[in-house]
Amino acid sequence: MKNSLNALVFFGKFAVLGLAIAFVLSELAPNWTARIRGQAAGAGKTEAPVATTPPEPEATAEVPEAGTSDRKPGRTPRSGVREQSESLYASFADAVARAAPGVVSISANKIVAGRRVLVPSDPLLRRFVAPIDAGPVQRGVRSLGSGVIVRVDGYVLTNNHVIEGAEDIEATLSDGRVAKATRVGADPETDLAVLKLDIGNVTNMTMSHKRLRVGDVVLAIGNPFGHGNTVTMGIVSGLGRQLDVSAYEEFIQTDAAINEGNSGGALIDSNGDLVGINTAFTREQKAEGVGFAIPIGTAKNVLNQLVSQGKVIRGWIGAEYIDQTAPKAATAQAGVIVQGVYPDSPAASAGLRTGDVILRLNDEQVAGQLDLYNREASIPPGSKVQLAGLRDGNPFTVEVKLGERPTLPVVQPKNG
């Protein structure tokens, strides 16, 4: 029994020693031990030759030259998703950086007249005591809006309704400077006004000379809710829009967000050039993305006249028109129908009548009421023009000596 126990102890020592040696060899020479195991496993077998393939060289990142693509035939680049996203989304930061210094925030203090009404504070008394009129009262109102520096000598275009009736006007520039602003003139017909900044070293905005198209990208820069230099983006949704607030309307419609305080601010194109003066937005039927701007061509004409003569002088026939529609049209040609004639006006003196169809002005076709209003306005007062059309279905011609358009009541738009 004792001999058997000694034998077990002897073999146990050798087993432990063998395991220890195997552990040391596996740590110090793993490749050698693997070869021993492989030879043992493959003893008595004939190995088939194995074809080896040279490793494929690692792909190196190549930077394509400007204006070229790194796409190779039959191969999709690893950065395809990123490249596609960069091509779909462009930044307008450069356009904004170019235009933003020309936009100012306007603060105008106005005195508004009203009436003071006394109402009992007790709800029970309000059921039996009517409100009492305590007489007229005046209160101060602060109007916030925007403006665009359009000349290096400090002239600013804005909306007339922003500064109308203002006692004190200040403009805050993009660099934080605050300047007093003097009212140069206003044109209620187009809701435009011109201010002069009492400060030097200003940056004016460049006016665009390109023709806008529906679908062009535009950005609105202004002072919505007093936040200052806020940029929104959209496209031109329509051109030549009319809101029935004045005779001279050819608004740019855009879905760039225009809110209270944006009035008088800049509508720019993707190059940073000024294409319009933001003027109105709509709250009707909870509409969103429907804003309007005055085209820069109209704004430039008003600017030049207000700076040079303090007011806008327009030729005036003295009649109101509507476009021909199918039920009313006496002819297939474009033109307008005289809806009314002002008393003692050039039209009245020339014998123009309600219901007359005007087809031509100075032998040029009349496209519609907007076309006729703008063309007569561009002719100096005192000039004579020929109007031709149909009266009771018969051709007629009259000569009208234009007068100067008087200041007529206008309805202000729902604006920002």
Return the closest-CA partner of residue 276 out of 226, 241, 228: 241
Which pair of tokens denotes residue 36?
């021993």
Per the listing, tokens 């100067």 go with 404
227 catalytic residue (yes or no): no
Element (H, E) at 37: helix 30-41
- Could you say which of 143, 174, 208, 263 is catalytic? 263
Which pair of tokens denotes residue 304?
């030049």
- Could you say which of 105, 161, 269, 345 is catalytic? 161
Per the listing, tokens 């006249």 go with 305
Strands (E), 150-229: 155-159, 166-172, 178-187, 192-197, 217-222
Q: Specify whether the CB–CB gap between 252 and 275 falls below 8 A.
A: yes
Which residues share a beta bridge with 364? Answer: 361
95 dihedral zone (left: phi>0; alpha: psi -120 to 50; beta): alpha
Other CB atoms within a 10 A radius of the CB of residue 342 amount to 16
- Could you say which of 105, 146, 187, 191 is catalytic? 191
Other CB atoms within a 10 A radius of the CB of residue 389 amount to 24
Look at residue 304 and give its three-state secondary structure: helix
122 catalytic residue (yes or no): no
Q: Specify whether the CB–CB gap between 289 and 266 falls below 8 A.
A: no
Return the closest-CA partner of residue 144 out of 220, 198, 221, 225: 225
Return the closest-CA partner of residue 160 out of 195, 197, 192: 192
191 catalytic residue (yes or no): yes
Which pair of tokens denotes residue 106?
């306007």
Which residues share a beta bridge with 24? Answer: none
Other CB atoms within a 10 A radius of the CB of residue 8 amount to 9
CA angle 225, 230, 232 (to 5 degrees): 110
Instruction: List, by residue number, the catalytic residues.
Output: 161, 191, 263
